[in-house]
A and B are shown apart, each in its own frame.
Chain A
Amino acid sequence: MEFLTGRQEMPLMEKLGILANSAKYDVACTSSGVDRKGNGVDMGNCVAAGICHSFSSDGRCISLLKILLTNECIYDCKYCLNRCSNDVPRATFTPDEICRLTVEFYRRNYIEGLFLSSGILNSPTFTMELIFRTIWLLRNQYRFNGYVHVKAIPGADPEVIRRTGFLVDRMSVNLELPTAEGLRTLAPNKHRKSILTPMRQIQNGITENRNELVLYRNAPTFVGGGQATQMIIGATPENDYQILNVAENLYQKFDLKRVFYSAFVNVTGDKQLPALPGGPPLLREHRLYQADWLLRFYGFKAEELLDEKRPFFNVMLDPKEDWAVRHLEQFPVEINKAPMERLLRIPGVGVKSARRIVAARRSANLTFADLKKIGVVLKRALYFITCSGRMMYPVKLEEDYIVRNLTEEQERIRFGSDGMSYRQMSLFDVGSFEQPVTAADRIQAAVGQL
C-alpha cells in the first residue's frame, strides 16, 4: 500500500505515544449502542451498555484504543494540538500496525475496540480513504468483530463515507464549536455546512438501512450504534442556553445518539483563545452533561431549564433542583400516586428508582424507609415528596428555605477544598502563626521566659 510518508523507522511505542497524545482531547469515545453476539469463529462481540476497561488518572474511561491515524494536518484550527502551524512531533500509523495493536490489545481484554480519528493528510477524501482501508483490513483480514468507531471527515467524498459506514459500529462528525461564528474565527478551514452535510448523510443512511433491515434480515448494517458528535465548551463566548439548544436540535433533527461536551483545555496558547487560570471549565461541562441527560431521559426541554434571561446554569444547584425550586407549584408529589413523568421530575429520583417505585407500589404503600431501599436520594428529594400524604419532616415549601438547605452541605465542601470557608474563625486562623519559627523562639520554648 502506497500511503506511507517515510517515517517507518520510528518505533511503535513512540508512534503510539504521539498519536494517543494527539487523540486524547476527543471525548466522543464510548463503546455503547450495539449488541452483537460473537459468531463463534471471529474474535469479538459488542455489549449494548458499553464496557470501560480502565480509567486513566483524569478519571475518564479507557474503553477503546483511541488513536489518530496520523497527526499530520493541513488545517490550522486554533484550538487544536495538531494544527499545521504547531511544532509537535508527527507520526503516521500503517494500517497493519493499527490492526495488530487493536487485535492484540483486544484479546488481552485491555480494550473494547478501536476509535480511529485522523488529522487531514493531503485532502479530506484521501484521509477518509485511508481510514476506510484500515477498517476494511481490520474487519476482513484480521477478522475483528468488536466495536469500531471512526470519525467521518467533513468534506470527504460521500461515497467513501458510505462505504466506511457499513464497516463500523459508530460514526461521528465533530461539530467542534457550538455556533457558526465560533467556527469561523477559530477553525478557518472548517465550515458549518461541510460539517452538517456528512452528519445528514449518515442520518439518512441509518434510516434507510433500518427500513432495509426490516425487509431483508441479513442486509449489512450501516452505523448500527448511531452517530455522535462533540462540542468544545468555553473556547468561544456562547452561553449555556445556546449550547443546550444546539444539542436539543441535534437530537431532534439529526437523530444523534449522543452529544459530547469537552471542557476547553488551552493546549496551543493561541492569543485568540481564552486563558483559563482556574483550569478547564469542568463544572460547566458537568452541568451540561446533567442537562443533556434531562433532555434525553427525563422528558425536559431546553427552554424549561434555561431561557434568554437566565442563560447560564446555577453553580450551586444541579439543573433539576434548579428547575424544581422555580416550579414549587408542582410540588410536593405524592409518591404512591404520581405518574412516571412526574416522578422523573423530582430531584433525587432517577430513571431506575422511578421505575422501581412504580413497580413496588403495586404491592405495598411505600414509606420513606422503602424509598431509601429503592435508592432515592432522600437528602435531595425530601423537600419535594409526600408518602401517603405526609412529608418526611415538617419543611416549608418555600424557595429560599429549600435552596439554603440544598446548598448548605455542598457549599461547605466547595469552599473548604481550597482553604476558604464560611466557618467560625478560630484563634489559629490568625496569620501570625504562619510565620517561620526563629532561633530565639526555639530557645524561649525550651527554657521559658528566663
Chain B
Amino acid sequence: MTVYRCEDSLESIFTAIYLAYEEKRDHMDTCISLTDEPILFAEDVYVKPDQEKMNKVIRSLHRIFGEQDYMSLCMALASEDEGKAQAVYRTVVDGLSARRRAGHLFDNLANDEVHRAFAIARVVGREIGHLREFVRFEELDNGVLYARIDPKNNVTAFLMPHFSDRLPQENFMIRDGQRGIFAIHPAGKQWYLFYAGEQETESAFRISEEEQEYQELFRYFCHKIAIEERKNLKLQQNMLPLRFRRNMTEFRDNK
C-alpha cells in the first residue's frame, strides 16, 4: 500500500493525485493522507507541492468533468474534514475509470467515497450559501466596507467572486477571523487574498458617521417586518443558525 502524505492545500493534494497517476499506482491500494498517522505495512511518500502538476490536474478535471463538478471538488477540499483528500482522490478515480461526462462526476452515490466527497462538498456549499446571505458589511471612516466572518470551513475565496461581481466599484474586504485571512477587493480591480496571521487588527477600525444610523434603521426594519401573531423562533433558528449571528448587524445588540 502507498500513502501520499500531503499538507492541507489544494496544490499539495492535486500534486499527489498527479503523482498517483504518473507513478501508475493501483488506486484501490493507494491513499492520500493529510496527517502523519502511521499506517501498517504502508510505503510513505511525502509530496512536494508542485504548481505545474497542480495546474495540469486542474485543467484536466475542468475539461473532463466541467466547471460545476470541478467547483464541487474544490469546495470539498475547503472543508476541515480530515478524510477530504482521500474522498476527492477516490471520486476522481471513480469518475475517470467509469468515463463520466461533465456534470456526472457525483452520479455514483452508492459508492461510499463518492458519497463522502459529495457530502463534504455539500456541507461547504451550504456554508458558502449561508455566508452569501449573512455577511454584513460595515462602512469604515475611510469608506471601505468591512465584514468579519467566522466560518467552519475555509470558504472566503468562494465568497469573493459573488461580492466583487455585485459591488464592482466598492473597496471592500472580508476577514476570516478564525484563519487570519483577508480577502480584499479594491474598487474596479481584481480581488486577492492576504494572510495576516494572528495579529489583532479589529480595534484599528473605526466605523463611519453614517454607519451607525443605517445599522439602527436596519435593526428597526427587521423588528417591524415581523408579524407578532406568527412568531416562531424555532423556525427562525432553523433558517438562521445562532453561530452566524454574532457577526450580524441585526442581532449584535440583542445579546
Contact of B109 among A38, A146, A356 (CB under 8 A): A356
Choose, from A9-17, A85-93, A126-134, A164-172, the stretch at the interface. Answer: A9-17
* B residues less than 8 Å from A289 (CB atoms): none
B interface footprint on A20-31 (CB within 8 Å = 1, 0 otherwise): 110111000000
* B residues less than 8 Å from A101 (CB atoms): 217
CB <8 Å contact, B236 and A373: no
CB <8 Å contact, A279 and B229: yes
CB <8 Å contact, B108 and A54: no
Q: Using a Cβ–Cβ cut-off of 8 Å, how many residues does chain B contribute to the interface with A? A: 54
Q: Is A105 an interface residue, CB under 8 A from the partner?
A: yes
Query: Which residues of chain A from 42 to 77 have a CB within 8 Å of any chain B CB?
Result: 42-45, 47, 51-62, 65-66
* A residues less than 8 Å from B229 (CB atoms): 265, 279-280
* A residues less than 8 Å from B209 (CB atoms): none
A366-B224 contact, Cβ under 8 Å, with A16-B217, A108-B138, A110-B249:
no
Q: Compute how far the CA of A40 lies from the CA of B227 in the bound complex, rounded to whole angstroms.
A: 38
* B residues less than 8 Å from A58 (CB atoms): 226-228, 230-232, 235-236
Residue of A nearest to B147 (CB): A109
Q: Is B216 an interface residue, CB under 8 A from the partner?
A: yes
CB <8 Å contact, A17 and B134: no
* B residues less than 8 Å from A51 (CB atoms): 132-133
Contact of B115 among A17, A23, A373 (CB under 8 A): A373
A interface footprint on B11-51 (CB within 8 Å = 1, 0 otherwise): 00000000000000000000000000000000000000000
Q: Is B196 an interface residue, CB under 8 A from the partner?
A: no
Q: Is B145 an interface residue, CB under 8 A from the partner?
A: yes
Q: Compute how far the CA of A373 lies from the CA of B118 in the bound complex, rounded to whole angstroms.
A: 10
Residue of A nearest to B226 (CB): A56
Choose, from A246-254, A311-319, A357-365, the stretch at the interface. Answer: A357-365
A149 to chain B, nearest CB (A): 15
* A residues less than 8 Å from B167 (CB atoms): 43, 107
Q: Using a Cβ–Cβ cut-off of 8 Å, how many residues does chain A contribute to the interface with B? A: 57
Q: Compute how far the CA of A59 lies from the CA of B234 in the bound complex, rounded to whole angstroms.
A: 8
* B residues less than 8 Å from A359 (CB atoms): 104, 107, 109
Q: Compute how far the CA of A41 lies from the CA of B232 in the bound complex, rounded to whole angstroms.
A: 41
Residue of A nearest to B139 (CB): A108
* B residues less than 8 Å from A37 (CB atoms): 165
Q: Compute how far the CA of A293 lies from the CA of B206 in the bound complex, rounded to whole angstroms.
A: 48
Q: Is A341 an interface residue, CB under 8 A from the partner?
A: no
* B residues less than 8 Å from A57 (CB atoms): 226, 231-233, 236
A94 to chain B, nearest CB (A): 15
CB <8 Å contact, A108 and B221: no
A interface footprint on B200-231 (CB within 8 Å = 1, 0 otherwise): 00000000001000101110111111111111
* B residues less than 8 Å from A107 (CB atoms): 137, 145, 167, 170
CB <8 Å contact, B137 and A364: no
* B residues less than 8 Å from A60 (CB atoms): 226-227, 230
Q: Is B238 an interface residue, CB under 8 A from the partner?
A: yes
Further pairs besides A52-B133, A58-B231, A366-B110: 11, Cβ < 8 Å: A13-B217, A20-B221, A38-B165, A44-B166, A45-B166, A54-B222, A59-B232, A59-B235, A60-B230, A360-B108, A363-B108
Give B contacts to A, CB under 8 Å.
Answer: 98, 104, 107-111, 115, 132-139, 145, 147, 162-163, 165-170, 210, 214, 216-218, 220-236, 238-240, 248-250
A-B pairs with lowest CB-CB distance, top 6: A59-B235, A56-B226, A364-B110, A58-B230, A359-B107, A59-B232
List 29 A-B residue pairs with CB atoms under 8 Å apart, sorted by A's residue number: A20-B221, A21-B225, A43-B167, A43-B168, A44-B166, A45-B166, A55-B236, A56-B223, A56-B236, A58-B226, A58-B231, A59-B233, A59-B235, A59-B238, A60-B226, A66-B225, A101-B217, A107-B145, A108-B137, A110-B218, A110-B250, A282-B230, A360-B109, A362-B107, A363-B107, A364-B111, A370-B109, A370-B110, A374-B109
